C-alpha cells in the first residue's frame, strides 16, 4: 500500500525555499510514500462565501478532491510580516466549511533566510489547522536557507534533508 501525501506550498515565488523544501520531501520520501506537489494555488480564486455553494469554482473542487484523495497533507510556507501569506490563507479559507482536513494527518514546514526559519508563520498555520480540526503531527522550521541551497535552488544541507525526511516519515506513519 502506498501512502499519498499532498504537498502545498504557501509561496507563489518561483524560486521559493518553501517549494524547494517540498521538492526535498518528495525526493527523500521513503519507499511506499509518494509526495505530490500541488501547483495550483496561484490559480485559486480569492475566497468568496457567495461562490462556495453546491458547485464551488472548478479549481476549488479540484483542490478539495486532491485533499480527500490524499492520506496526509504537508504544508510549507514562508512568513510575511509575522503572518501567513495571503494566498495560503485564502486557500485554507476555502476549506473551513467543507471539512476535507478534519482528522487528516498534516505536517507544517517553514523556511526563511532569517535564523528563526519563519517559526511565527508556522505557529500561526498550526493554530489555523487546529481550527480546521486537522491532526497536526509535526512541525519543522528551516532558517538560514540561502546557505543551505545550491545554485539551482535545491536544498543540499544534510541536516535539513534529514529533518525533512524524518518529518515525511512521521507524517506517513500517522497516515
Grid cell 476535507 in the structure block, residue = 100
Q: How many domains does the chain have?
A: 1
The string of pLDDT tens digits covering residues 113-172 is 988 889 999 999 999 999 999 999 999 999 999 999 999 999 999 999 999 999 999 999
- For 7-62, the pLDDT digits (tens) are 999 999 989 999 999 999 999 999 999 999 999 999 999 999 999 988 999 999 99
**Residue 82 near residue 121 (C-beta atoms within 8 A):** yes
The 3-state DSSP class for residue 127 equals: helix
How much is the pTM? 0.96
21 within 8 A of 76, measured Cβ to Cβ = yes
User: What's the pLDDT score for residue 109?
Assistant: 98
* Beta strand residue intervals within 3-152, DSSP E: 3-9, 33-38, 72-77, 105-111, 135-142
Query: Among residues 45, 8, 7, which one has the least CA distance to residue 28?
Result: 7
What CATH code is carried by the domain that includes residue 82?
3.40.50.360
Judge contact between 3 and 34, C-beta under 8 A.
yes
Q: Where in the sequence is the domain holding 78, given as residue range(s)? A: 3-174
Amino acid at each position: 500500500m502506498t501512502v499519498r501525501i499532498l504537498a502545498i506550498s504557501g509561496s507563489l515565488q518561483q524560486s521559493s525555499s518553501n517549494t524547494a523544501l517540498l521538492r526535498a520531501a518528495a525526493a527523500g520520501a521513503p519507499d511506499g510514500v509518494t509526495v505530490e506537489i500541488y501547483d495550483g494555488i496561484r490559480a485559486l480564486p480569492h475566497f468568496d462565501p457567495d461562490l462556495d455553494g453546491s458547485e464551488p469554482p472548478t479549481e476549488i473542487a479540484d483542490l478539495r478532491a486532491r485533499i480527500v484523495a490524499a492520506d496526509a497533507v504537508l504544508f510549507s510556507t514562508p512568513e510575511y510580516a509575522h503572518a501567513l501569506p495571503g494566498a495560503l490563507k485564502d486557500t485554507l479559507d476555502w476549506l473551513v466549511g467543507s471539512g476535507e482536513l478534519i482528522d487528516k494527518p498534516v505536517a507544517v514546514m517553514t523556511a526563511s533566510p532569517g535564523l528563526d526559519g519563519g517559526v511565527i508563520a508556522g505557529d500561526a498555520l498550526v493554530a489555523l489547522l487546529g481550527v480546521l480540526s486537522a491532526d497536526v503531527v509535526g512541525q519543522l522550521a528551516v532558517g538560514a536557507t540561502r546557505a543551505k541551497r545550491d545554485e539551482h535552488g535545491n536544498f543540499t544541507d544534510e541536516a535539513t534533508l534529514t529533518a525533512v525526511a524524518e518529518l515525511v516519515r512521521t507524517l506517513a506513519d500517522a497516515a
